[in-house]
Amino acid sequence: MKNKYWKYICLLGLGAFCWTCSDDNPNDGPDGPGSEGGQGTEQEIVRSYKIGTLAGFEGNLRQKMDKPSTDVSTMHNRSLFCRYVASAYPEAQDDQPYPGPITEADWWDNFVEEIAYSGQDYVAMNCRGEANKDIDHGRPDKLHDLMAAIKRKGVEHEFKIAIFDDTPASWSAARNAHKGYGYDNKPFKNGSRVEGSHYPLLFLDPEKEDMKGADNDFRKEVYYYIWNANLKPSFENVPRDYWFEIDGRPVILFWNPNGFLQDSYLSELMKKDPAKYKSTTGLDETKSDAYNGKLSYILKCISDDFNSTFGVRPFLIIQREWTDRDFSLVNCPYLDGIHNWFAVPTMDMSEEVYNENLIYNTYISAYNFKGFSVGSGCPGFVQGDLARPNWQFIDADHGRYATKMMESFLAKKPDLVFLEGFTDLAENAAWWRSSDKIYYDYPNQRINLLRKYSNRPFPTRQKLEAEACDYCFNGSVSGNKIETLLMETEMNNAPEQGVVKYCNDTKYNGGWHANLTSGSLNTLRWKEIPFRTGTSTIRFRYSSNNAASVRCQIGDTMTQSVSLPATGGAWEETEVAVYSRDARGYADFNLIVTEGDISLNYAEIIAEK
């Protein structure tokens, strides 16, 4: 009943919001939606919260082209990164290893650039342990590659790193694989459960086991996979000055352990051999509080070992359903926060029930525990649409759903916002740049939303990667305006137009560039770019074998034509425009090559203050 009332109260905090599609939006200033406090010479915007996303980095994401569907789901919001590869190497096939010189380092480079561009305070890396050398499922040792990419792309200290412990994978599936049962929470063979593949925590008392000495069943069968094989190496592989901290304490977030703690196989074993398999709490796995004291003790061990190893106690945040398994957690001194993860309605619900779930359960504006509150949610969700009638669906509605969620965070003022899932392609819940035209309007839409509601919505310096523009088209200058016969709904992005190529620039490790030719595909557009009050300088990093001329249009303001000298194939930087405005706000940024041709690596917008 308490939760029911809370849901209705939350509704009162939701403000009406309309995301305008105009080219120049001066009304989104100090008093506009998504705003708190002043900006620029007055003061920076300060939210009540730090905001970040969960990010998976398993091998299939890093090492292969993606694919349009699985046997279960349509992959709508596929990464724009894989479209860059397809543009530069048209022979590249979906769901295959990258062609030519492309490696997973390129994936990491793109990943850190997008995270930095989005303005989020932290990214929670989805770590699943390294007990098995041949399982690339989110290995802590791969965090070395994350750190190397941060340095290559010049985004040092643009964001911090939290660790997310994906408990079903790290505690259970990785353990089963390590014991030879197969990588699964509930491995089967020939239609039957693999003997020994149960999670043993119900049948042992961790605290009593620890009284037996270091080499006890709790340490060998449970805790090794939590601490030694996952959390400890995760933090060892991230430099301390990159740790995301709350009150000076590094943050660890945990996922829901219900799947393996409530495994029906545990009851089967208890019936089969009650002398050998006996719940130490006297409750079977289906009962609430069946693990009383055990999960609290695990958190104590993590906190103690972290303090012994690193000299500080971690800030531990669990998923709410932990407290159903172990009531003692509500008084656990080692627990600092709880995130009440969102629920996704299914399409077999009645319209009334579906709409009620959509309103009350799909994002949590602020869940409070011990005075610390966490907001959570996702930008949209599509999973299972090809496989079953009860498939899960939250309509992203072209950014409107995420906007309502973000506005609720502003209203409810949580201390932390933790969002699914920057790279969550499998559930169509990713925030990354995407080629999706069903639920997105343009590639940067969700990243723009993250930045708009971040603590840095109006950055002093922005790097616009040419390949990551929202639209690429053939434009022409008429008076003080870039014109085209196309509506935005008819436009394509740069990789779809085939102008994105692999870049040999040595600055920021190159990456990708776009080839632009006057009279042909010569214009790039980025939607809703934030501009600060005062003057901003626009710079290009380009290469050209011949002289060229370029202009920029920012909102309704057209800049003067600038001649770019030939560079002989080298990459050079030059100032192309100066833009001023009286109040911060959002404007579409366009650039056009009016004469000649150039290869554009990126444009920079540098504010004077």
Q: Are 325 and 284 in contact (CB under 8 A)?
A: no
Q: Are 226 and 165 in contact (CB under 8 A)?
A: yes
State which amino acid sits at residue 58: E
Distance CA 605, CA 608 (A): 10
Higher pLDDT, 308 or 608: 308
Q: The pTM is what?
A: 0.92
Residues 528 and 446 in one domain: no
* Burial of 5 per CB tally in 10 Å (0-12, 13-18, 19+): exposed
Q: What pLDDT, on a 0 to 100 scale, did the predictor assign at position 9?
A: 32
Give the containing element (helix H, strand E) for 587.
strand 585-595
| CATH number (domain holding residue 589) | 2.60.120.260
Q: Is the pLDDT at 21 greater than 80, yes or no?
A: no
Q: Are 393 and 381 in contact (CB under 8 A)?
A: yes
Percent of the chain topping pLDDT 70: 93
| CATH number (domain holding residue 396) | 3.20.20
Q: Where are the extended beta strands (E) located within 81-144?
A: 122-127
CA 528 to chain centre: 20
Pairing mode of beta strands 122-127, 50-55:
parallel
Q: Is the pLDDT at 70 greater than 50, yes or no?
A: yes
3-state DSSP assignment of residue 156: coil
Tokens of 314: 């971690």
Q: Are 392 and 346 in contact (CB under 8 A)?
A: yes
Mean pLDDT of the chain: 92
Q: Is the pLDDT at 165 greater than 80, yes or no?
A: yes
Q: Is the pLDDT at 176 greater than 80, yes or no?
A: yes
* CA angle at 328 for the pair 326 and 330, rounded to the nearest 5°: 105
* Burial of 470 per CB tally in 10 Å (0-12, 13-18, 19+): buried
CA 499 to chain centre: 27
Q: Is the pLDDT at 42 greater than 60, yes or no?
A: no
* Domain end (from 427, 457, 487): 457
Residues 448 and 468 in one domain: no
For residue 581, the enclosing domain spans: 463-607
* Main-chain dihedrals φ then ψ at residue 376, nearest 5 degrees: -150, 160
Please state the rounded mean pLDDT for residues 269-276. 95
Q: What pLDDT, on a 0 to 100 scale, did the predictor assign at position 133?
A: 94
> What pLDDT band is residue 36 in, cutting at 50, 70 and 90?
very low
3-state DSSP assignment of residue 141: helix
Residues 435 and 468 in one domain: no
Residues 507 and 428 in one domain: no
Residues 260 and 115 in one domain: yes
Residues 451 and 311 in one domain: yes
Please state the rounded mean pLDDT for residues 222-240. 98
CA 496 to chain centre: 24
Pairing mode of beta strands 315-319, 249-254:
parallel
* CA angle at 590 for the pair 153 and 548, rounded to the nearest 5°: 85
Residues 437 and 574 in one domain: no
* Burial of 549 per CB tally in 10 Å (0-12, 13-18, 19+): middle
Q: Is the pLDDT at 374 greater than 50, yes or no?
A: yes
- Pick the closest to residue 548 from 522, 527, 528, 509 (CA basis): 522
- Pick the closest to residue 124 from 247, 252, 313 (CA basis): 252
Residues 265 and 394 in one domain: yes
What does DSSP assign to residue 170?
I
Q: Which residues contact 350 (CB under 8 A, 6 or more apart)?
A: none
What secondary structure does DSSP assign to 377-427, as a single string? E-S-EEESTTT-TT-EEE--GGGHHHHHHHHHHHHH--SEEEES-TT-TTT
What pLDDT, in 10s, does the model give residues 295-335?
999 999 999 999 999 999 999 999 999 999 999 999 999 99
Q: What pLDDT, on a 0 to 100 scale, did the predictor assign at position 28?
A: 41
Distance CA 113, CA 31 (A): 30
Q: Are 101 and 130 in contact (CB under 8 A)?
A: no
Distance CA 159, CA 491 (A): 33
Distance CA 381, CA 397 (A): 11
Higher pLDDT, 217 or 32: 217
Tokens of 363: 């994002």
Q: Is the pLDDT at 112 greater than 50, yes or no?
A: yes
> What pLDDT band is residue 43 in, cutting at 50, 70 and 90?
low
* Domain end (from 422, 457, 492): 457
* Domain end (from 457, 479, 497): 457
Residues 480 and 423 in one domain: no
Residues 336 and 475 in one domain: no
Tokens of 203: 């049948």
Residues 587 and 534 in one domain: yes
Cα-Cα-Cα-Cα dihedral of 462, 468, 474, 475, to 10°? -20
What does DSSP assign to residue 434?
B
Domain count, the chain: 2
Residues 431 and 476 in one domain: no
Please state the rounded mean pLDDT for residues 403-419. 97
